[in-house]
Amino acid sequence: MKKFKVVFQPEGKKVSALPGITIAALAAENGVRLEVPCGAVGKCGKCRVEVSKGEGVVPPDAEETALLSKEELAKGIRLACRTKISGDAVISIPRTSRLQTQKILDIGIQTEVKLAPAVKKIFFKELPKGSSNELLNNTGVYSTVDNELLTVEKGDTTSILYGMAFDVGTTTVVGTLVDLKTGIVAATAADMNPQVVYGDDVISRLNFCIENKNGLAELNKKVVDVINKLIREACEEAGIMPESIYDIILCGNTTMEHLLLKADPKPLATYPFVSMLNQSMNKKRVPEAGININQKSYVRVFPVIGGWVGGDTLGVILATNLYKTAHMKLAIDIGTNGEVVLGNKDRLVAASCAAGPAFEGAHIRSGMRASKGAIEKIDLIDDKIICQTIENASPVGFCGSGLIDAMALLVENGIVEDTGRIKDKSELPANLPAEIKEKLIEHENG
């Protein structure tokens, strides 16, 4: 079958394309960073690209004509997720449609914990003589989880014992390198989850697995690659080798953990949303998982609580000691996938819902991720609205924290009720700051 030549600008990347492939799919295949918040279903309109002279692509379909103006179409603006290649083409991706480097929170609550690593090292100047069982029980590096000998090393290496914990999010992956002898955090590394090129939410990732023969393998490789990248970065910062990491624990929402372990995620797509990862701790040998640390070690993944409430929620419960408290407490985790846990030492109840995409692009016209130009904070100072953007760049849109600040401002000033209803102009407080009044716009829906 004939292939066409496609050039992605502004980087000038030249690729080959089969007829009928969408621009979004072609970009994902070739590592071109392109926003597709809705998972390439033509609903959000955020994947705008410019096709030079409109050549080499099929005419726009109904979804495109509904989201793009006649003026945009005349300029060659198209939706990458709907536009199919039909010939040689030059495609320019504007900054607003490119995946940007995110501002990532890579530190959390610092709490004192009792150090009890699962992996320990014991040094013997002389190996004990006797049965293999005696050797197994008394020497080397072993895991206290199931009392298994991992490896025997030459010399005294007891001072070199590291572990790494990962939060594998739908949008962001964060890894923390810890010295298991002292409990000191040696380094932290974070990056965007490269799976975002297939859509912002977990439903998009599931659909990709279901609709593509090698979908699970592709998504697994994406997340394993970024985990290995973060391991290298953390080790470089700490001045150690990846082989010095003997334990690695990962948590994520239900879908992310399935993709990480290459467990079939299809049952998650339909009721009753059955997880394959409900055992006390899911573990794989490091070589099998593809993780580049000490190859004698295990990769351990938190169990899924149930349905869409995954191992990351278990991490929240453990980190906050919610399961120990005598009083009723509420924990809220607002990520791409959102979870709420209510309870105390007697009982915990959890629920899950989509969160991030609703804030950051798929359903908010000016929504975006926490990248350059995103409004991340809003204050009202001396009756003046003050907006803070990431990197102090010109405003491009709102990320989640900015949107929450904006809503809080509207509630505090009597514009939005606690129920979420926006008041009519006739109902607004008389003492409303002038700058807020000027920015209120009425339209046919209120």
How high does pLDDT run on average in the chain? 86
| pTM for the whole structure | 0.75
CA nearest to 253, candidates 338, 184, 196: 338
For 295-340, the pLDDT digits (tens) are: 988 899 999 998 889 999 999 999 899 999 999 999 998 877 789 9
pLDDT of residue 132: 47
Q: How far is CA 389 from CA 96, 103, 106, 399, in A?
A: 15, 11, 19, 9
For 183-205, the pLDDT digits (tens) are: 999 999 999 899 988 887 888 89
pLDDT of residue 57: 94
Query: 4-97 domain in CATH 3.20.20.10?
Result: no
pLDDT of residue 54: 58
pLDDT of residue 360: 60
For 378-433, the pLDDT digits (tens) are: 998 888 889 999 989 999 888 888 988 999 999 998 999 988 888 888 888 888 88
Half-sphere exposure of 242 (CA within 13 A, CB side): 16
Q: Is the pLDDT of residue 16 over 50?
A: yes
Q: Is the pLDDT of residue 144 over 60?
A: no
Cross-strand partners of 168 = 173, 252
pLDDT of residue 142: 45
Please compute the mean of the pLDDT values over residues 1-23 and round it to a whole number. 92
Query: 119-307 domain in CATH 3.30.420.480?
Result: yes
How far apart CA 160 and CA 179 sit, in angstroms, is 8
pLDDT of residue 146: 56
Q: Is the pLDDT of residue 18 over 80?
A: yes
pLDDT of residue 53: 64
Q: Is the pLDDT of residue 277 over 50?
A: yes
Q: Is the pLDDT of residue 272 over 60?
A: yes
Label residue 5 by pLDDT band (50, 70, 90).
very high
Label residue 148 by pLDDT band (50, 70, 90).
confident
CA nearest to 112, candidates 184, 216, 61, 16: 184
Give the residue extent of every domain in the chain.
4-97, 119-307, 370-439
